Each structure stands twice: as C-alpha cells, then as structure tokens.
C-alpha cells in the first residue's frame, strides 16, 4: 500500500469540510434572512481581536511587513465594500423589519478566497514565503473585507429603513447602494 503524504491528507480533509460548508451555505443563500443592525459589529470585532493577537504574538519584522499588513486590510476593505453592495437588503413596508440575501457573486468571491488561501498555505514554504506572514496578511485582508462589507450594509440598511419609515420606498427593496433613489 502506498504511503499518502500528510499534506495531501490535510488538503483532502480541508477540501471536504469546506465543500460541505459551502454546500450548506449555498442552500441557505436562497432565502432572505433577518438583518439585525445591532449585531453587524460582532464578526469584525472578533476578526480584529484575532488580528491584534496574531500581530502581538508574531509581529512583522520589517516596515515592509507592516505596510503589507496595512495594504492587505485596505485591499480587503475595498473588495468588502463592493461585496457589501452585492448583498440584497429588503425592508418590510408594514413592519420595517430588515432582511438580507447574499448574492451569487458574493458566494463566488468567498469560494475564490478559500481556494487562494489553500494555495498559499501549501505553496508558501516552496516559494520561500513566511507562513506566519501569510497568515497575518490573510487575517488583515479578512478583517478589512468583513468590516467594510458590514459597514456598507449597515449604512445602506439604515438609509433604506429611514426611507421606508418616511414612506419613500413602496417596495422597500434595494439590490444596491443607489437603486432606491
């Protein structure tokens, strides 16, 4: 019986777990879910804490490393803002309850991020890249991405809610940041 490389086993286990999670996520994506503005800060706060702990424990050793972390967060933020705009946000005209529905574009983007992360994880050592630095960069990118996504959704949902309460949006639905104007 041939010996299987532990890295291959790890990759296969990760692929199966990620595949199952994505399959479940794809099924849930078809339905609108309640959007609670007061809880949008929680995931960015957890990621921010993880990023702070990671950079405290394993800080970049050079100024270029710190700039790379900042650049990863800014790039993640820019992409996150666009991702937030792809989320469908609705307001029930009668109850003013908010709901959200992810777009297929946002889902595809998450899949691409997972693939890129896995590729970097397994190829970093072969390319002479510091694995801890890659982890920090990915955490900074994720922090920027999630924070900006949630911020865009929060601002747009508040605007839509105010418009619905004022009676300006008959359907209460927005598919983007400017569609209800």
87: confidence class by pLDDT, cuts 50, 70, 90: confident
Structure confidence by residue, pLDDT tens digits, 136-149: 888 899 899 999 99
**What pTM value is reported for the model?**
0.72
pLDDT value of position 127: 67
Q: Using one digit for the tens of pLDDT, what is the confidence trace for 129-177?
A: 677 787 888 889 989 999 999 999 999 999 998 888 887 654 445 545 4
pLDDT of residue 31: 77
SS (H, E, C) the chain: CCCCCHHHHHHHHHHHHHHHHHHHHHHHHCCCEECCHHHCCHHHHHHHHHHHHHHHHCCCCCHHHHHHHHHHHHHHHHHHHHHHHHCEEEECCCCCCEEEECCHHHHHHHHHHHHHHHHHHHHCCCCCCCHHHHHHHHHHHHHHHHHHHHHHHHHHHHHHHHHHHHCCCCCCEECCCCCCC
pLDDT category at 122 given cuts 50, 70, 90 is low
């Amino acid at each position: 019986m041939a010996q299987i490389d532990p890295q291959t086993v790890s990759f296969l286990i990760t692929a199966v777990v990620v595949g199952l999670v994505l399959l479940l996520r794809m099924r849930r994506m078809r339905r609108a879910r309640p959007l609670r503005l007061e809880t949008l800060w929680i995931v960015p706060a957890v990621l921010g804490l993880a990023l702070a702990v990671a950079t405290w424990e394993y800080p970049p050793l050079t100024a270029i490393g710190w700039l790379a972390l900042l650049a990863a967060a800014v790039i993640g933020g820019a992409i996150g803002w666009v991702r937030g705009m792809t989320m469908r946000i609705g307001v029930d005209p009668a109850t003013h309850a908010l709901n959200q529905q992810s777009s297929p574009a946002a889902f595809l983007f998450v899949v691409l991020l997972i693939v890129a992360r896995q590729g970097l994880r397994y190829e970093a050592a072969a390319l002479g890249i510091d694995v801890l630095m890659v982890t920090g960069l990915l955490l900074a990118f994720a922090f920027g991405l999630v924070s900006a996504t949630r911020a865009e959704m929060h601002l747009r949902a508040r605007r839509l809610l105010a418009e619905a309460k004022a009676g300006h949006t008959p359907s209460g639905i927005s598919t983007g940041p400017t569609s209800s104007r």
